[in-house]
Copies of this chain bind each other. A is one copy, B any other.
Amino acid sequence: MSNNPIYAAIEAGGTKWLVSVGTSPETAVQTRIPTEHPEVTVGAAVDFIAEQIKQQGAIQAIGIGSFGPIGINPDDTDYGVIGKTPKPHWTGVDLFSTFSQFNVPLKIESDVNAAALAEAKSLLPNDEGRLIYITVGTGIGAGVVDNGRVSNGVHHPEMGHIRLPHHPDDNYAGHCPIHGACLEGLACGPAIIDRWGKDLSTLGSSHESHDIIAYYLGGFAANLLLTYAPNYIVLGGGVSLTEGLLSRVRQQAFKQLGGYLARFNQADGLGAVIQAPSLDTLSGISGAYLLAAQALQAHCA
């Protein structure tokens, strides 16, 4: 028998769930389940974990990084419960109660916070310092990790909806149904397609869209450097994969900071801070493993 605890880890995404059982994400047995009716998807996840317990032996904790909104404060009655979501049948789904049936310590976070946790473990292995993970895709979200722990306030951050100045050449009114031209309304994937008819990777790199999106994401990064002073900002999600975008975002952040923060008085300084995900697409499931480990640790403390 291995000395390493066996965990169940779930990356519960809005389009697919990844369920993994084992001692680490790299060596685990895992399955992908499409996000359909919650009874089907959650049921399949429960069955998979139960089957793996038969195969591998008892699990010691469960970690879940879930799409949201989701209650993430263990002291609240909505802990692990999906909030009001346009996804049919998912509002009110109680992941905490469902996965409590395995009678092991359980920790649930937002999917973005779980990915942030994994990136922080990778870039700040001694758990010293602060990292912000941003995902730019269908929406824009961000999670903060401070000294190895997810750092929420009263609720998890909703940074996608902050306001920034409009790019002077961008007349787009914005895509957010609530705020119009908030950050997400200006720079998420659907806002790009709505404005220019294609996604950023398909639009040529000389197309104005690249500078405009970099202006918003660079402005967001600059604001975060001023407000949170993190060691790292990791730019993830589908839109961020666009070739050349990361470099433009760094340039824009540098320009907008104007040399104000001494550590960024050269553009190189931002190259070390604003980074692509170091775990590639493994951030989410790796974060779920870290949540399981934290749940076990808290239980044993």
Contact = CB atoms under 8 A, between A and B. Distances in A.
A231 B179 contact: no
B179 A260 contact: yes
A178 B256 contact: no
A155 interface: yes
Closest 10 CB pairs of A and B: A153-B229, A162-B223, A130-B153, A154-B229, A178-B258, A158-B226, A155-B229, A159-B227, A162-B226, A165-B165
B166 A165 contact: yes
Given A152-B229, A165-B165, 16 more contacts: A83-B262, A142-B227, A146-B151, A153-B229, A155-B229, A155-B261, A157-B227, A158-B226, A158-B229, A162-B222, A163-B256, A165-B181, A178-B259, A179-B258, A223-B223, A224-B227
Interface string A246-283: 00000000001111111100000000000000000000
Tell me which of A130, A151, A153 has the highest count of chain B C-beta atoms within 10 A of its own C-beta.
A153
Contacts of A152: 229
Contacts of A157: 226-229
A161 B222 CA distance: 9
A165 B185 CA distance: 14
Contacts of A230: 153-154
A164 interface: yes
A129 interface: yes
Contacts of A179: 256, 258, 260
A227 B227 contact: yes
Contacts of A224: 227
A151 B159 CA distance: 19
Contacts of A161: 226, 257, 260
A222 B164 CA distance: 12
Interface of A: 83, 129-130, 142, 146, 151-159, 161-166, 178-179, 181, 219, 222-224, 226-231, 256-263
8 contacts: A130-B153, A130-B154, A146-B151, A154-B263, A157-B226, A157-B227, A163-B165, A163-B222
Contacts of A156: 229
A112 to B, nearest CB: 13
Contact of A261 (B129, B158, B181, B256): B158
A226 B228 CA distance: 13
Contacts of A146: 151
Contacts of A231: 153-154
Nearest to A178: B258
A230 B155 CA distance: 9
Nearest to A154: B229
Nearest to A263: B154
A163 B162 contact: no
A153 B129 CA distance: 7
